């Protein structure tokens, strides 16, 4: 791989300004896509799913932990074996403190087909403190398109599904699978997948501090 061209500082600033204009265009397009995702129709979840977790049996509404929204990571961890998918493991390693999600009224949970008795030692070995549940019957995986049959492979495919709770009703708002998880992991990237978003004025293209275009700064994608 060749190294970048060596130029003067003035030449670098000119090239940087040209690239910055493209970065801002990409950021604006990303914001428009996020807004369109928030307007995506939702589907009522009328089927009852039963999971097993650290506190025993749980339903899908239980996974919300009293919050308005829920992001579920479909972790490929088949019933046999002593480890989960490497790609799924790398994704969970990118998940940081869940406090920002919680502050935005959003819960996060991991769901796998493997029995909880197998999930627990693997989770401990990896050092994760995330809420993790078993869905051994496979009906949750089937309905949200992460089963082996959907993937064409032997163990299924990773994915993320987002849910919204309105009173006693639960709605499915969004799902993405496989390569759709690339670049995700931060709290803001997960919130951008949800129907209620980040709960920030900047989502409408305005800076919460001054009302100006969030991309009018001198450098950085939004600075």
pLDDT at residue 223, as a whole number: 39
As a whole number of angstroms, the distance between CA 88 and CA 75 comes to 6
pLDDT at residue 96, as a whole number: 82
pLDDT at residue 208, as a whole number: 41
**Which residues of the chain carry a pLDDT beneath 70?**
81, 148-155, 201-223
pLDDT at residue 97, as a whole number: 86
pLDDT single digits (tens) 119-162 = 999 999 999 999 999 998 878 988 998 876 555 455 678 899 99
DSSP codes joined into one string, 104-158: TTEEEEEEESS-HHHHHHHHHHHT--S-EEE-TT-HHHHHTT-SHHHHTSSS---
pLDDT at residue 207, as a whole number: 45
Helix axes 116-126, 86-94, angle to 10 degrees: 60
What's the number of CA atoms in the CB half-sphere (13 Å) around residue 197? Answer: 17
């Amino acid at each position: 791989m060749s190294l970048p061209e060596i130029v003067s500082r003035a030449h670098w600033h000119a090239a940087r300004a040209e690239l910055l204009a493209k970065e801002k265009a990409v950021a604006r397009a990303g914001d428009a896509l996020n807004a369109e995702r928030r307007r995506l129709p939702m589907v009522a979840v009328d089927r009852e799913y039963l999971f097993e977790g650290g506190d025993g049996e749980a339903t899908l509404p239980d996974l919300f932990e009293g919050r308005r929204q829920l992001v579920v990571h479909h972790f490929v961890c088949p019933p046999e074996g002593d480890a989960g998918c490497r790609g799924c493991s790398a994704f969970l390693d990118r998940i940081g403190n869940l406090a920002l999600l919680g502050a935005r009224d959003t819960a996060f949970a991991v769901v796998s087909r493997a029995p909880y008795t197998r999930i627990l030692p693997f989770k401990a070995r990896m050092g994760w403190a995330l809420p993790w549940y078993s869905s051994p019957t496979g009906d949750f995986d089937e309905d949200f398109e992460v089963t082996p049959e959907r993937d064409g492979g032997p163990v299924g495919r990773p994915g993320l599904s987002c849910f919204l709770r309105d009173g006693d009703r639960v709605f499915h708002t969004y799902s993405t699978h496989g390569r759709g998880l690339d670049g995700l992991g931060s709290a803001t990237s997960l919130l951008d997948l949800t129907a209620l978003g980040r709960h920030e004025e900047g989502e409408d293209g305005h800076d919460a501090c001054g009302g100006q275009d969030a991309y009018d700064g001198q450098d950085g994608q939004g600075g």
